[in-house]
Amino acid sequence: MSGSPTASVFFLGQRSLQALHLPGHSPGSVAYVVESDGRRVVFAQDVHGPLHPDLLSKRNDYQASLRKLLALEADILCEGHFGVFVGRAAVAAFIERFVED
């Protein structure tokens, strides 16, 4: 996993865990990415939003964050409210439900 200005990498034993800043739903939204048995696993909450002024949501940031999630090409998504999606197609399909063109 490569780092970026919006990512931090932590090491747990021999395994690296990448924390990604994915604002939009709220300014502090994050996701965690780990490689496990050759598969990319993403732990994320509020992929579905919602967007609300009380959460300081920003639609443009949210849409950019969804595109970053898609670009990860995750094999497994563990989403905090909707459960676990297995397979790149299923992960992408779930995220794409919320992407606006």
pLDDT for the residue 7: 72
pLDDT for the residue 2: 47
Q: Tokens standing for 80?
A: 């905090």
- Per-residue pLDDT at 3 exceeds 60: no
Q: Tokens standing for 9?
A: 């990498």
CB atoms under 10 Å from CB of 91, counted, come to 25
**Measured CA distances, 38 to 26, 29, 34, 80 (Å):** 31, 26, 10, 23
Using a pLDDT cut of 70, give the percent of the chain over it: 94
pLDDT per residue as tens digits for the range 26-73: 999 999 999 999 999 999 999 999 999 999 999 999 999 999 999 999
**Measured CA distances, 7 to 28, 41, 42, 64, 83 (Å):** 13, 15, 13, 15, 24
pLDDT for the residue 85: 98
Do the beta carbons of residue 21 and residue 69 sit within 8 Å?
Answer: no
Q: What is the mean pLDDT of the chain?
A: 92
Q: How confident is the model at residue 6 (pLDDT cuts 50, 70, 90)?
A: low
